Structure formats: structure tokens, C-alpha cells
Amino acid sequence: MPAYKEKTKNTWYASFYFTDWTGTRKRHLRRGFKRQKDALEYEREFLVKQQGSPDMLFSSLYDLYQKDGKARVKETTITTREPLFKIAYTPLFWKYAH
């Protein structure tokens, strides 16, 4: 999908359609990217996260894990786990992280 440029603000935005988990087709719009590359990267990451694909980056998987965990565990648990992931797990999965 292409990224679009806003003439007035001189920024880029991503506008695309995706199918959610219920099968409904929805439009997603995100504005304010400095570069076209950033808008395209956001779109790619968003679609991968929506699909739950095994091809997603480790950093994307960790972001989903954190977002899901915030609703179920205490804040202190999250702050304890965060350094563990950064120090222990990220070096192990570095080639999958970026």
C-alpha cells in the first residue's frame, strides 16, 4: 500500500484497509510521519500484528505481550519483567528483533 503526503503539514500518513478478527473489513489511518519510509513501516508492522503471523519481529511480539499483560498483572510485575526481556531475551533473539 502507498503512503500519502499531506501538502499543508509536509508530513506523511498511512491509510489502508485490513480485516479484523471478526472478518469485518476496516480502514485504518495514522498521520504525522516525518518520512514516507516511516509510514510504510508502520503499515507493515500494523498488518503483521493484526494477523498474528509467525513472521512477526520479536520486538512486535514483545509489544503485543506487554499490551496484553498490562490488563492482567500489576504495574510492579511489568516493571520487573521489562529489564529481564531487555537484558536476557533480546540478545538471544537479536536477529529476530530487527
Q: Are residues 62 and 75 in the same domain?
A: yes
Question: How does 17-26 read in b/e, with b if 16+ C-beta sit within 10 Å?
Answer: eeeeeeeeee
Tell me: the pLDDT tens digits for 7-51?
A: 899 999 999 999 887 888 999 999 999 999 999 999 988 887 787
Task: Give this prediction's pTM.
Answer: 0.55
Separation of CA 94 from chain center: 17
Domain that holds residue 72: 57-98
Q: Are residues 42 and 78 in the same domain?
A: no
Residue 85 and residue 62 in contact, taking contact as beta carbons nearer than 8 Å: yes
Q: Are residues 3 and 17 in the same domain?
A: yes
How many domains does the chain fold into? Answer: 2
Number of C-alpha atoms within 13 angstroms, CB side, residue 69?
15
Q: Are residues 40 and 88 in the same domain?
A: no
Q: Are residues 49 and 64 in the same domain?
A: no
Number of C-alpha atoms within 13 angstroms, CB side, residue 47?
16
Q: SS3 of 55, please?
A: coil
Q: Are residues 49 and 3 in the same domain?
A: yes
- At residue 59, the pLDDT reads 75
Q: Are residues 66 and 85 in the same domain?
A: yes
